[in-house]
Amino acid sequence: MAKPAILTVDDDPAVSRAVARDLRKQYAQDYRIIRADSGQEALDALKELKLRGEQVAVLLADYRMPNMTGLQFLEEAMDLFPRARRVLLTAYADTDAAIQAINVVDLDHYLLKPWHPPEEKLYPVMDAMLEAWKAAPDRPVADVKIVGHRWSAPSFKVRDFLARNMVSYRWYTTDDAEGQRLLTAAGLTEADVPLVVTAEGKTMVAPTEAELAVQVGLTTTPASDFYDLVVVGGGPAGLGAAVYGASEGLRTVLLEERATGGQAGQSSRIENYLGFPDGVSGAQLTDRARRQAVKFGAELLTACRVTRLAVEGSARVLHFEDGTTIAAHSVILATGVSYRRLTAPGLEQFHGRGVYYGSASTEAPSCSDQDVYIVGGANSAGQAAMFFSRYARRVHLVIRAPNLNASMSRYLIQQIASVPTIEVHPCTEIIGADGDEHLERLTLRSMDGSGERTVDSSWLFIFIGAEPRTDWLDGVVQRDARGFVLTGPDVESGADHAALGRDPYHLECSVPGVFAAGDVRADSVKRVASAVGEGAMAVSLVHRYLVEGQ
Contact partners, residue 367, CB within 8 Å, separation at least 6: 388, 391, 392, 459
User: Do residues 127 and 120 touch, judged by C-beta distance below 8 A?
Assistant: no
Q: What is the pLDDT of residues 183-225, one digit of tens each?
A: 887 888 998 999 998 877 788 999 999 999 999 889 999 999 9
pLDDT of residue 97: 64
Q: What is d(CA 334, CA 544) in angstroms, rounded to the nearest whole number?
A: 19
- pLDDT at residue number 51: 55
Query: If DSSP codes are grouped into helix, strand and coil, which group holds residue 484?
Result: coil
In the prediction, which pLDDT does 1 show?
Answer: 63
Q: Taking the CA of residue 549 as centre, how many other CA atoms within 13 Å lie in the half-sphere pointing to its CB? A: 16
pLDDT of residue 99: 67
> What are the φ/ψ torsions at residue 246 (nearest 5 degrees)?
-70, -40
Task: Write the DSSP string, 486-537.
Answer: P-GGGS---HHHHHHTSPPPTTB-SSTTEEE-GGGBTT---SHHHHHHHHHH
Encode pLDDT of 500-526 as tens digits: 889 999 999 999 999 999 999 998 888
Q: Residue 112: what pLDDT?
A: 79
| DSSP at 119 | H
Are 438 and 350 within 8 A, CB to CB? yes
Of the candidates 456, 424, 431, the one whose C-alpha atom is nearest the C-alpha of residue 445 is 431
Low-confidence ranges of the chain (pLDDT < 70): 1, 51-53, 92-105, 138-142, 495, 550
Contact 88/110 with Cβ under 8 angstroms?
yes
CB 265 within 8 A of CB 240: no
User: Are 316 and 514 within 8 A, CB to CB?
Assistant: yes
Residues 6+ apart with CB under 8 A from 9: 16, 35, 36, 37, 38, 39, 41, 42, 59, 60, 61, 62, 65, 70, 73
**Which pLDDT score, from 0 to 100, does residue 142 have?**
52
Question: Which among 116, 16, 95 has a CA at the least distance from the CA of 61?
Answer: 16
Residues in the chain: 550
CA angle 375, 376, 377 (to 5 degrees): 140
Distance CA 450, CA 407 (A): 25
The phi and psi torsions of 145 (rounded to 5 degrees) equal: -120, 140
Per-residue pLDDT, 66: 85
- Asked if 423 and 404 count as a contact pair (C-beta separation under 8 A), the reply is no
Task: Report helix, strand or coil for 335.
Answer: coil
**Cα of 225 vs its chain's centroid, Å:** 28
pLDDT at 141: 46
What would you measure as the largest C-alpha separation in the chain, in angstroms?
A: 77
**CA-based nearest residue to 535, from 102, 238, 259, 130:** 238
pLDDT for res 98? 63
